[in-house]
Amino acid sequence: MSGEEREKRAARNEDLFRQVNERLHDLAVITGSSEPHEKFVCECEQTSCSLLVELSAGEYQTVRANDRRFVVFPEPWHTSPELEAVVERRDRYWVVEKRGAAGVEAEDLVERGTNLL
């Protein structure tokens, strides 16, 4: 698989997980869950990954405020060093940030053969 295809696939996967997580968050708000942490699915690139991470509503919103950041399970296996950097390491979750502007800009850079590092 080319780097470009991989970028696009990763972006699609993560967008899907983000939508799932926003629904989970809405649900927790609607049902007035009293748990200190809400459960979210790991937003990593692995299609076989279905692990859950726990964040408070505030933590989730902080991550979600940045379009380039995603929550993943706190293990290296859930990160893609060539596509993203781990910007926050907590006991319950890690936050990764896409290099470049996750979507179009990153793909353009890959197409031009520019080294993102």
44 binds Zn ion (CB under 5 A): yes
Which one of 11-19, 46-54, 82-90, 93-101 is the stretch in contact with Zn ion (CB under 5 A)?
A: 46-54
**Amino acid at position 91, single letter:** D
Write phi, then psi, for 44 (nearest 5 degrees).
Answer: -75, 175
Q: Are 21 and 43 spatial neighbours (Cβ–Cβ below 8 Å)?
A: yes
Rounded to a whole number of angstroms, the minimum distance from the CB of residue 61 to Zn ion is 21
83 binds Zn ion (CB under 5 A): no
Cα–Cα dist 14/1, whole Å: 18
Rounded to a whole number of angstroms, the minimum distance from the CB of residue 110 to Zn ion is 23
| Interface ranges with Zn ion (CB under 5 A) | 42, 44, 49, 73, 78
